[in-house]
Every structure is written in C-alpha cells, then in structure tokens.
Structure 1
Amino acid sequence: MLRIIIADEQKSFRTVLRRSLESNLSGVVVEVSNPSDLINALRSPLKTDLVIVGSRLLPAGDPTYLAALKRAAGAVRLLLVVPHASADLFQDALSLGFHGLVLRRQRHEEMLEAIRTTLDGRLYAPDAILAVKPTAAAPAMRQPERGTRTFGLTLRQREVLALIGKGLSNREIAAALSIAEATVKIHVSAVIRMLGVRNRTEAALLAPTILKGQV
C-alpha cells in the first residue's frame, strides 16, 4: 500500500490533493503543514513512497534543512510544487534531490500523471517547460520518429540513458553498470549529442519515450 506525504502550508491545497489521491490511488495520504512535521513524518517507521513538497514550505536559503530532508527521505521520491516553472528551475530542483516538479495550478489529471510518473521511478516536468525553444547554439529537442526510436544508440548508451531518466548521477550510473565514471561521461556526452538535446535533463525527459519496450 502506498504512503504519500503532502507537505504544504496551504490547507486547501493539501485537502483537495489528498481527496484526489484517495479517490484515484490505493494508499494512505498524510498531510503536514510545516518543515519540522515533514521531517518527523519521514522518520516514521512506516515506509513512505512519495513526498509532495510545496516550495513555500521549504525554509528559504537554508541548506541545513535541505540536507536534513534528504537524509530523512533516503530513497523516497520527492516532487516539488511550484507556482511557476522553467527549465532552469527544473534543473535546480533535480540538483537539490527532487525527482520532478509540478505547477500548483496544474489540473488534477496532470497532477496524478506527475505522481504516477514519479512513483514509477522516472523524472517529471510539466509540458510547459518541455517546449524548449531552439537557439543558434542548440537545436530544438528532437522527438522520436516512427521506426527510429533508438536514434542509433548502442545497447550501453541505452542503458546509460535509462539510468539518466531515473535521475542517477554519473557516479551512480558507473556503480550500477560496473564501469568507470570517466566511461559514463563519454556515454552521456554521446547520448546528448545523438538525441540532439542540450543537456542531460532534456535527455532524461525524452528517455521514457525513446526506450519504451527496449530497456
């Protein structure tokens, strides 16, 4: 049975989201309204699968709290709720240990999709920030074409891409595949180049579509 924590200072947001989750997912939903209660809820002996955290709940500029949150969370999936989103904010969220972000104003169907995606071990970002505009230095992010889903990636590159899609760092990928971290860097660079994306974040977002049924 799933155990999901909704951590947000706004009661109405927590209540509406909890009711939606209870209607659509099988599990227990816990509400908390402040940072200390969130840490305590994560320290419960009961296994937690996902924490949905409102950005306003996080103490601004307090790396000590974020470190404590990550220690308490361990392998728990973390989803950040923000009022506005951008590609830069998404990358910042990943660097802080979150596995995706959602907009506070997103429709409930989209929120549920985000939660299911995150619980499934993948990264999630709203459609609004996936429409990356091309620049002179970086081409538009390519979409998989029928019959050419792998983009010519080797088996090892597909394995690396699958782990990028789960939010793993180069060091973690190296450990998972039993290869050198320097080798991982080479594969990551090749994957980014072959997919025509600008960074590993965009590669991670394309990974589920490209690798569907293959890795």
Structure 2
Amino acid sequence: MIRLLLADDETMIRAGVRAILATDPGIEVVAEAADGREAVELVRAHRPDVALFDIRMPLLDGLAACEESRRAVPETAVAMLTTFSEDAYIARALGGGATGFLLKSGDPYELLAGVRAVAAGGAFLSPTVARHVIDTLGGERLTKGAAARARTDALTARERQVLGLVGAGLSNAEIAARLHLVEGTVKAYVSAILDGLGVKNRVQAAIVAHEAGLV
C-alpha cells in the first residue's frame, strides 16, 4: 500500500485529486494539508511514502515545502502537482529533490502512474513537462551531450547500464529484475551513480543519461 500525503490550498482540488487516487486500491491518502507549513509538519508526523504538493500554497509554497520535507524525511518521495510548467518551477522542484512533476490538467492516469513511479523509487514527468524540457534543451543538445558523456565515462560499465535504465524510468525493483540482481545491489549502484555524477536525485541522473545517449 502506498501511503500518500496530499497538500493543496484549494478544497475542491484536494477533493478531485483524492477521488482520482481512490480509484487505485493500492494508494491510501493518510493526511491532507491546506498550506505548505502544515504539509511539512504532517510529513514529519506521518512519514508517508509519497507527498504530493501543490506549488502555490500559503505560509510556505510547495517548492520550499518540498525542500524542507526532503531534508526532514528523505525517505518520503515528493511529487509536485500544479497548473504551472514554467522553467523556473521545474528547475527548482527538481533541484529541491522532487522526483515527480505532474500537471493538474493532465490525464488522471498520469497522476496514478506518477504516484506509483515515485513511490517505487523512480521518477515521473508529465508528458507535457517532459516535452517542454526536451524542447528547451534542443539548442544545447550537442554541447550538453558531450559534457554528459564525459561525466558518464567516469562510471563503470555496469553503472552506465544501470544509469540508462534509471533514465528509462525504471524503479530499483524493475532494474534488479532486468539485470538479474538483488534490489539492494541496485540501490548501491544508484547511490554510487549519484555520487559519481554529482547529482542530487534520480531525475537529475536521468537527464544526464538522456544527454549522454544512454537511453
């Protein structure tokens, strides 16, 4: 069962999101918050598997709440749920430790798939957000590709293989099954990859994987 905290200052939005989540028997909403400060406190109290934060909330916005929650309870994965897809929001959310970025205007399936992906240790970007990121990187792709390849060259062959699967959105369990490894070994590889690349989370590692052509 995936235990989830939902934070949004709009009561109707929370009700709608909760109704979508209720269609998946494997997801349980264990707490709700109407502002960012309350959301962080509830993450500390409930230690959910996933915290789903709106970006624009009173007292503490979702981006700051994400950063505080990740510092306080690093085992809780954070996904952002918003109507906004501007570069600044995406960059700060990913830099703050979020591993999911979902749009309220997206298909309900994206919400369920995103929650399951981040709960399993993977990453999920709404297709609209992913397309925007790819388009934004387009003009710099060759330069970034060369830089990314230089960074991944420092990894072992097995680490590059695991990184490619992280970039493809696979969870640790899925990577373990694909490579016939135990999940603990995959976790160790992922930690070594993050350290080797100098990145904070799987989303940032996945971006390097795409830039390096490993996916």
TM-score normalised per structure 1: 0.64
Offset at 1:106?
A: 1.0
Map of 2:73 onto structure 1:
73
Higher helix share: 2
RMSD: 4.0
Per-residue CA deviation, residues 61-83 of structure 1 (Å, 9 max, x unaligned), is: 996x6553333332101001121
Aligned AA (1:36): R
Alpha carbons of structure 1 residues 90 and 157: separation in structure 2 relative to 1, 3 Å: same
Is 1:158 aligned with 2:161?
yes
**Unaligned runs of at least 5 residues, structure 1:** 143-152, 189-198, 211-215
TM-score normalised per structure 2: 0.64
Per-residue CA deviation, residues 145-191 of structure 1 (Å, 9 max, x unaligned), is: xxxxxxxx932311344567689xxxx978934x995xx249x9xxx
Alpha carbons of structure 1 residues 154 and 25: separation in structure 2 relative to 1, 3 Å: same
| Distance in 1 of aligned mates of 2:162 and 2:92 | 25
| Distance in 2 of aligned mates of 1:135 and 1:43 | 40
| Distance in 2 of aligned mates of 1:96 and 1:13 | 24
Aligned AA (1:74): P
**Unaligned runs of at least 5 residues, structure 2:** 146-155, 172-186
Say whether the 8 Å CA contact 1:124–1:205 is kept in structure 2.
no
Offset at 1:123?
A: 1.1
Alpha carbons of structure 1 residues 122 and 15: separation in structure 2 relative to 1, 3 Å: same
Aligned AA (1:202): I
Q: Percent identity?
A: 16
| Distance in 1 of aligned mates of 2:42 and 2:188 | 30
Map of 1:38 onto structure 2:
39
| Distance in 2 of aligned mates of 1:62 and 1:180 | 22
Alpha carbons of structure 1 residues 62 and 81: separation in structure 2 relative to 1, 3 Å: closer
| Distance in 1 of aligned mates of 2:63 and 2:88 | 20
Say whether the 8 Å CA contact 1:77–1:119 is kept in structure 2.
yes
Say whether the 8 Å CA contact 2:85–2:129 is kept in structure 1.
yes
